[in-house]
């Protein structure tokens, strides 16, 4: 008799899977909008409230700290109470906190609300990627998670338009009110997105898991006749959650170390350049309006980065795509740091966004694949949480290097540092990473040695 996982893995892409991917992706897009609007919002807040550079930096970092805490706690919560519940709950927190931020009357109030917004945002991403990964058959699992991540590009594009068109006219509060939409969207998601069948089977809710898979089988034209004497239907593993220390046990330590290295490197490198690109371009002599236009163009370059990674990840493997795209990001960062003309800024900046966001997509696809169902969300959440520390640190280090060496030379040295970070992670993945392409989640989890 086929179990739930085997039945999912033999399915084609069904309408139900497409619906889950799309609706989860919309939530992902709202998350990206929040991140993308931060730089424009903070500049406007600084002007209204006369904030110091330190206060402004703390405001940006409070969101990142919230993301770290949210990712760690929500991952464990998703393994204990379910992926769907955590996605809904964190979207609700994010939406409400963002909406209230638009009514903030002073700096301390906004600081707390930005932490809560980050908590919800950081908590949703690991649970959402885990949900899509567990719903996807083996042959399209990596592609689907990268397509989920591609909604990030649309969120950044929308954020660039809000920053460019609305904030100058209506002020910074409008951005936070727009960010409240996910709270309403979460209520709809609660009815429209079902729980992961793999998780339901894990916790003994076999009938619910069977009903969900039957819907997809019916959509695919597969007639599965369940034959059981009742024993198999009650089969479940003894432990339905893992602790933080379990992730460092002999069984998981290789996956945990590699993932934490990947997540810290990509967060440090990505947020090291993305939050400072408009300011760095200004230092190079470009007008503010031009810098926003450049950023928008470079954000559009994210889309082919995602789609190319989604295509390659199911053909050459996660390990190869991760290593090559990290290396491509390193080369692009070096070239962008040495750009001397408008055309070079646009070309090398587009390459930087192309490779870095293709890398992000593959990271999200790879992360939930290296842990079993019992530890999948926890492992993903803690890796994301550690990575957010890189996102927290980078915005402080970049201006120190930039100011120390001056606007012209400092610009180049910032990107030399980021080049080194991306290059080191590329090498680590190539040497120590596992290949998960073509393996069922259960096959990888049970210790089958993946093809290196």
pTM of the entire predicted model: 0.85
**Dmax (CA) of the chain:** 75
Using 50, 70 and 90 to split pLDDT, how confident is the model at 45?
confident
Q: Token pair for residue 423?
A: 């290059």
* DSSP secondary structure string for all residues of 96-137: HHHHHHTT--SHHHHHHHHHHHHHHHHHHHHHHHHHHHHHS-
What does the chain come to in residues? 452
Of the candidates 41, 241, 20, the one whose C-alpha atom is nearest the C-alpha of residue 136 is 20
Say if residue 283's pLDDT is above 70. no
Inside any domain, residue 138: yes
**Helix ranges (DSSP H) in 179-301:** 181-192, 197-202, 206-220, 253-274, 277-283, 288-300
CA atoms of 280 and 411, how far apart (whole Å): 7
pLDDT value of position 175 = 86
Lowest mean pLDDT among 21-30, 99-108, 177-186, 321-330: 177-186
pLDDT value of position 31 = 84
CA atoms of 321 and 64, how far apart (whole Å): 27
| Model confidence pLDDT, tens digit, residues 309-332 | 999 999 999 999 999 999 999 999
Contact (Cβ atoms closer than 8 angstroms) between residue 398 and residue 272: yes
Alpha-carbon Rg for the chain, nearest whole angstrom, is: 22
Higher pLDDT, 191 or 144: 144
Say if residue 119's pLDDT is above 90. yes
Rounded (10°) angle between helices 15-49 and 206-220: 110
Q: Token pair for residue 124?
A: 């949703």
Using 50, 70 and 90 to split pLDDT, how confident is the model at 449?
very low
Of the candidates 147, 144, 142, 157, the one whose C-alpha atom is nearest the C-alpha of residue 32 is 157
Rounded (10°) angle between helices 302-313 and 342-366: 40
Element at 233 (helix H, strand E)? none
Lowest mean pLDDT among 155-159, 230-234, 257-261, 437-441: 230-234
State mean pLDDT over 173-177: 89
Say if residue 436's pLDDT is above 60. yes
As a whole-number percent, the residues of the chain with pLDDT over 90 amount to: 46
Using 50, 70 and 90 to split pLDDT, how confident is the model at 284?
low
State mean pLDDT over 5-15: 93
CATH number at residue 267: 1.20.1250.20
Inside any domain, residue 141: yes
Higher pLDDT, 137 or 39: 137
Inside any domain, residue 243: yes
Contact (Cβ atoms closer than 8 angstroms) between residue 246 and residue 237: no
CA atoms of 395 and 60, how far apart (whole Å): 9
CA atoms of 446 and 264, how far apart (whole Å): 27
Using 50, 70 and 90 to split pLDDT, how confident is the model at 281?
low
Residue indicated by tokens 């002073």: 106
Contacts for 443 with CB less than 8 Å, ≥ 6 apart: none
How many folded domains does the chain comprise? Answer: 1
CA atoms of 87 and 91, how far apart (whole Å): 6
CA atoms of 272 and 268, how far apart (whole Å): 6
Inside any domain, residue 411: yes
Inside any domain, residue 62: yes
Say if residue 353's pLDDT is above 60. yes
| Model confidence pLDDT, tens digit, residues 181-238 | 877 787 777 678 899 999 999 899 999 999 999 999 999 998 766 544 443 444 444 4
CA atoms of 378 and 246, how far apart (whole Å): 10
Element at 236 (helix H, strand E)? none
CA atoms of 79 and 377, how far apart (whole Å): 6
CA atoms of 140 and 252, how far apart (whole Å): 25
**Helix ranges (DSSP H) in 302-341:** 302-313, 318-337
Q: How many CB atoms lie within 10 A of CB 1?
A: 12
**Dihedrals phi, psi of 172, to nearest 5 degrees:** -70, -25
State mean pLDDT over 28-38: 82
Say if residue 125's pLDDT is above 60. yes
pLDDT value of position 225 = 64
Q: How far is CA 338 from CA 66, 273, 399, 411, in A?
A: 34, 14, 18, 8
Contact (Cβ atoms closer than 8 angstroms) between residue 268 and residue 422: no
| Model confidence pLDDT, tens digit, residues 372-387 | 888 898 999 999 999 9
Inside any domain, residue 450: no
State mean pLDDT over 13-26: 94
**Helix, strand, coil % over all residues of the chain, rounded to 5:** 80, 0, 20
Residue indicated by tokens 């954000």: 299
Give the domain range for residue 169: 4-445
Contact (Cβ atoms closer than 8 angstroms) between residue 70 and residue 123: yes
pLDDT value of position 291 = 57
On average, the pLDDT of the chain sits at 85
Say if residue 139's pLDDT is above 80. yes
pLDDT value of position 136 = 95
Say if residue 138's pLDDT is above 60. yes
Inside any domain, residue 452: no
pLDDT value of position 238 = 46
State mean pLDDT over 269-281: 75
Rounded (10°) angle between helices 288-300 and 342-366: 40
Inside any domain, residue 376: yes
Using 50, 70 and 90 to split pLDDT, how confident is the model at 13?
very high
Say if residue 450's pLDDT is above 50. no
CA atoms of 155 and 332, how far apart (whole Å): 23
CA atoms of 356 and 374, how far apart (whole Å): 30
């Amino acid at each position: 008799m086929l179990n739930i996982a085997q039945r999912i893995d033999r399915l084609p892409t069904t309408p139900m899977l497409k619906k889950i991917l799309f609706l989860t992706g919309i939530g992902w897009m709202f998350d990206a909008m929040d991140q993308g609007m931060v730089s424009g919002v903070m500049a406007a807040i600084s002007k209204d409230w006369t904030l110091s550079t330190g206060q402004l930096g703390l405001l940006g970092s409070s969101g990142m700290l919230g993301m770290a805490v949210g990712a760690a706690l929500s991952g464990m919560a998703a393994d204990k109470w379910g992926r769907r519940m955590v996605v809904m709950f964190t979207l609700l927190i994010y939406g409400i906190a963002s909406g209230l931020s638009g009514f903030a009357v002073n700096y301390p109030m906004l600081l707390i609300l930005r932490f809560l917004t980050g908590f919800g945002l950081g908590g949703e991403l690991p649970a959402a990627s885990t949900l899509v990964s567990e719903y996807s058959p083996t042959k399209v699992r990596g592609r689907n998670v990268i397509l989920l991540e591609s909604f990030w590009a649309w969120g950044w594009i929308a954020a660039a338009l809000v920053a460019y068109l609305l904030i100058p006219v209506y002020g910074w509060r409008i951005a936070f009110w727009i960010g409240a939409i996910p709270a309403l969207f979460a209520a709809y998601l609660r009815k429209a997105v079902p729980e992961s069948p793999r998780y339901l089977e894990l916790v003994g809710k076999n009938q619910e898991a069977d009903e969900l898979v039957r819907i997809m089988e019916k959509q695919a034209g597969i007639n599965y006749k369940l034959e059981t004497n009742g024993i198999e239907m009650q089969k479940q593993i003894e432990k339905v959650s893992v602790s933080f220390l379990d992730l460092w046990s002999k069984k998981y330590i290789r996956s945990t170390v590699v993932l934490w290295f990947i997540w810290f490197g990509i967060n440090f490198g990505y947020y090291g350049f993305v939050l400072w690109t408009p300011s760095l371009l200004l230092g190079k002599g470009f007008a503010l309006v031009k810098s926003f236009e450049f950023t928008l163009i470079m954000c559009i370059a994210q889309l082919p980065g995602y789609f190319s990674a989604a295509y390659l990840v199911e053909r050459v493997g996660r390990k190869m795509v991760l290593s090559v795209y990290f290396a491509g990001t390193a080369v692009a960062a070096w070239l962008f740091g040495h750009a001397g003309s408008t055309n070079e800024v646009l070309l090398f900046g587009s390459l930087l966004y192309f490779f870095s966001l293709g890398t992000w997509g593959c990271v999200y696809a790879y992360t939930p694949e290296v842990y079993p169902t019992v530890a999948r969300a926890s492992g993903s959440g803690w890796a994301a949480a550690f990575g957010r520390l890189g996102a927290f640190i980078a915005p402080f280090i970049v201006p120190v290097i930039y100011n120390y060496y001056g606007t012209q030379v400092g610009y180049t040295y910032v990107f030399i540092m980021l080049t080194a970070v991306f290059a080191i992670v590329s090498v680590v993945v190539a040497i120590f990473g596992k290949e998960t392409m073509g393996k069922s989640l259960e096959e990888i989890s049970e210790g089958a040695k993946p093809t290196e």
